[in-house]
Structures are given as structure tokens and as C-alpha cells.
Structure 1
Amino acid sequence: MVNKKQYYWIIFLLVFMQISCNQKNDIDKKSESTIKFDESNLIDEKNQSDKYVDKEFMEGYTTNQIIWKSNTADLNGDGIIDTIKVVSLDNRIFSKSENDEHGDFKAMVFINNLCIDFIFNWTMNSYFFKKGTKFEIIDIDKNDKYKEVLISQNEQEMEDPSIQRTIFRYFGSNLLTKTKILSEGYSAGQMNLKNNEFSIDHHRSPDIIGTYQLSNFFIKNKGLIEKKLPENFIQAACPFVYVKNKTTYIKQGEILRFLNAKNTEDWQFLELKDFELEKDVLTIKLTEEKDEVTFLNSIKLKIGNTEVFTMDSIDFNKSFLKDDKEYFQLNKNDFLTLKFKLPKNKQGKILLFAKGYYVPR
């Protein structure tokens, strides 16, 4: 027989359990939200603590499986330094071949006894892993006690890939979340922290900027702003690349894209394809077709892991081919012809690398 006091206690417990269940469902619903860039480019997930709660499991990985680790930050403000490890679950990511490009290489991010899955887009020896992959501890909101783990990497594109940001938030022994921020644009993804929020460049020409801040568990998109271009705006290009195909030249694309000032000088590459060689000789023509000046610091060709240098018969000073700040200058209507003798048993994609910048007039 249940007395009146026990009856009220039962009602109270049932209501409390329902509220707790609803809160958990709210987190689960947020963790499943995946909306495309034109609405909200955020992908949220929460930890798999129901699968991995054994601290020894985290410590059991060998050092050659650990891609990055840190034990210098207190992420949730409890006064205790947290142990962070990023562990590979796919040995293909350690491939020694620089020609291995992108893929879905599974990994786990551990923070103390919790973990959450992660995907690397490139092998560690690839150009874009070395160029774009960073691991950082950041502090988005200076007014709270928390810090965040940020992993940045290039997206899976071969030409001007944008930067993809994944932010991990640790709330203690029961909750670890991540938000992946996609940046679908042309050479986009730069991130700026300011005023307890952050912005990310999502596109260039026109410039589209997204503003973000912390939500209860994940990251909230405050909105996208498109900067209008001036009416007389002319998009400057960069040197065009052509490859000789029998008696004609085939346009391959541009090189030094968006490197439009001296302080932006960097390496870029362009894949060359859809042409027929003549006696294993590859002829490339770089042309400056816009009203701008191009400054070439260095040029090289790669086939797989093999670097190929220009033939001796080319009649110009080849010292500029070295990365030594000696520039070969191209003005409007100028062109430069390069010839490369390719190895007979070549394997892998043919990539033209160039370092330099251009200056619009």
C-alpha cells in the first residue's frame, strides 16, 4: 500500500526522469544535425563514452600511432591538466609515398577517458597534410573557463583546397563534443578569433564570411555576410599554364592563384593532364594575360616522388628555378616556355609546382 507521501515521491521521480531523458534527446538531436553550406555548414557529434571509458585503452596505443598529443591545457576549468591524444586507426596515413593524395583515414581524439572519432583527409607525407594540418589549443570565449581543441586540415580537393576546421569541447568526464565547420569556397577557410567569437572566410571574390560563437554544447552559426564587390571590380588572374599537345597547346589552368602580393608568396601546384607527349618531352608555356606582373621564384615538376628538372637547351638563366628569392618577371603578354625530359617508366600524376606571387596593376 502506497501512502500519500510515497505517491508524491514517485510522481517527482517520474517527472525528473522524463526531463533528464528530454535533455539527453536534445543533445542527441543536435549531434545528428548536418546541414549544407547554404544553410548551416556545421556538423555536430558527441563523444562515444558508452564505448570507450577505459583509460588504459587510450594509453595502450604505441607512439607511432599517435599523430599529436598535449598535456599542457586545462580544457574544462577544473584546475586539472587534461591529456589529449590524436591516434591513427589507419596505417595508410603513414605512407612514405608523397604521391598518395587524399582519402578517409580514420583516427580517434582522446581527452582523458573520453574519445570521439575523426577523419584525416591526407596522408602525413602528402603536400597538403604538411601545408594545412595544424593542432591547437584555443580560447574562443574569454569570459568562460573553457578552452577548445582545434584541428585544421585541407579539404579533399587537388586545386586550392579550402581549410576544414574541427573544434572539440570537453565538459568533464561525461561529455566530449566536436563540430566540423566546412568551408566550401575557392581557397577559403581562414579563421579569426575576436570578441568571444570567431569568423571564417568561406569564399573569395566575392568574399563570404561566417561568424560563429559557442552554443551550450557545440558551435552556433550567427550568419553569413557577403561583401559586395565594387562596380568597377576586375578580378585579376595569375599566370595561365598551357601544355603542348602535338602541334597545339592545351590550357591546364592557373598557377599562383590568389597570391596577389609579395607577403602572400607561397608554393602551389597544378595537375597536368589530357595531352600526348612528343619523345617523352613535356613542353609547358606560362603566359601572363592580365594587366599584372608575376614574380616567379622557383619552378619544378614532379611525377610521383620523382622531381624532373628543365632541359639544358632552354635559353634563359635557370638560376631562378631555385628557391632563392631570385625572380623571373612576367608582364602582360609575356610568356615563358619550359621543357622537361620525363623518365620513360613514369608513374603517378604529373604536377607542376611554382613558388612566387603576382601584383595586379
Structure 2
Amino acid sequence: MTGRQLNSFLSFLVLLLVASWIQCASASNGDLHPYYRTCLNNCLTIDCNQNPSQNGMLPWYLRSLFWDCGSNCRYECQIDTEHYFAVNGIPSQQYFGKWYFIRICGVQEFFSVLFSVLNLIVHYNGYQRMRRCIPDFHHSKSLCLIWAIIGMNAWVWSSVFHIRDTPLTEKLDYFSAGAFVLFGLYNSLLLMFKLDLKRGGRTATFILGILFFVAFVAHVSYLSFYTFDYGYNMKANLSVGLLSNLVWYYYSWSHRNIGLSWTKVPALSVTALMLSASLELFDFSPIANLVDAHALWHLATVPITYYIYGFVIKSSVYDINDTSPKLKSMYGKD
């Protein structure tokens, strides 16, 4: 990682941390049910308020993940309430906007964490492959590397959020994912259309970058200081993602006659990504209280991401080795 890339990433991370301190709450049928409310009130009163030493009695691995008596009561009462629902033929319910998951060594959503880590590994692998395979003088190499770094950051916070769901980790996850989607659109425009190689391109790409950064700051500020609107956040990310998809579809369509099979990868990849994202529409209760649609979506993105990085490398090498005199002159090659 170069000094410039490191400074950009650290600035971005500071922005995320500052914006993530604002807290929010939500309620669902499970946590509003009288059985759950009674269980929670009794647990908090008897185990926590009347026994202040209860926090120290929790296993070390729970304390290391910032579980305390209150949060542990909420989890234990979910177990009791789910058992009550099962006995009385009531379907599983959500609690504070989330399904109940079996906690494994303090980890709330084990398989979502596992699949997030797999995505992190794929992005790291893609970063290393691009460093090795894309020549340093390629116009988009540095942006592609930054894109991979932002992707790794997004999956780090996804892992942290699914390990321990708190208002802070939730926002770090959401904002990091939003940054990755938005920067992906910016990088796609430069990579596909080579905007920085056109006349006045450097100024245009700088202005475009500023606009994208302002849009991200406005998005984070709205969610942090006005209202944390889950619906708006989803629509914003979906809109930006769809624009990126159109750019990738256009690339495959505009290169359909050059006779290279890898030019179909953008269209196939974004189609696969949209199909995998549709898993989010099937919001079923977790299988065996461990695997839900969200976890399966994370799993589906692993192989897709691997092929996307392969495409970026092949298209970059093709740009440089293209026989077009005009393109070669852009890179200053004879």
C-alpha cells in the first residue's frame, strides 16, 4: 500500500468512526411480546440490578466481545421466548429487527462471519493479483487497488458486525458497504470509459471524485445526524449499484465483437450479483437458527468477486497490448 493510498484509507476510516457513534433502535414482534418483556424485566431486575457482580461471572469469551449482564439477558430471553413460541405453535419472530441466532463462543451470526471472512480473503487475493499483474503505468491501477482496499475494509466491518451486533458496528458495516458501492461506480466509470485519458480528463475525474465524496459525506451525515432510515439506505445503495451494473453491461455489449470470451464477464458477473442479492428478498427465519438468507448472499458473492478481479486484470492488460495506435498513444507507447 502506498503512502497516498494509506492516507486516503485512514481519512475514510476516521469519517466512518465519527459518524458511527450516533445510536439508533428498532423494535419487532419478538421483543414486543409480553412473554419476552416479562423475561427481560425479571432478568434485568434479579440478575443484573440485584447482583452487580453478574458481569464478572460471564465467561471470558463473552466479556471479550463486550457482552454484559444486560445484553446477555436479552439473548437468554430470546432463547426462552423462542421455546415458548415453539411449544405454543407460534412462528419464530424477530427481535429488535433481527432474527434469533444461536450464539457460538459469543459470536452472534457465525456463518455470516465465516462468509464475510471468505469475501475479505478474495478481495485481498484480488489486491495482490492486481499489484502483480497490472503494469504500474496503467491509468487505473491505483484506483483499482484503492477499490480493493475499500472492499477489504467493508468485509472487515461486516465480519465485526456479525460477530457482535451493536449500534456502532452496525453503522460501520453499513457505511463501509455504502462507500464500497459508491467508489465501485466511480472506479467503473474511469476503468470502462477511460475518462482520465481524454482531453481535460484529469480535471474532469477530479471534479467527479469530489462530487462522489460529497455525496458520500451527505449520505453518512443524513443517516447519522437526522435519522437512520434503513429503507433509504437500501434504496441509495441499490440505485448506485444498478448504475454500476449498467456500466458493466455496456462494457460487455460494446466489446461483443472483438472475439474475447472474458469480455462477457462484466455482464455475467453483475447478473449473478443481482441474483444473489435477491436472496435478501427471502427473509426467512434462520435454518437451524444458524444460516439465513443474508449469510447465503455473502457466500454467493465469494466466487463472483474472484472472477471480477480476473476481469479487471485481463481488461487492463488488454488496454496496454491493444493494437490500436490511438489507445497506445494514450499510454505513451510507440
If the TM-score is normalised by the length of the shorter chain, which range does it land in? under 0.3
TM-score (norm 1): 0.22
Normalized against structure 2, the TM-score is what? 0.24
Flag the structure with larger Rg: 1
Q: Which has the higher contact order (CA 8 A, sep 6+)?
A: 2
Q: Which is richer in helix?
A: 2
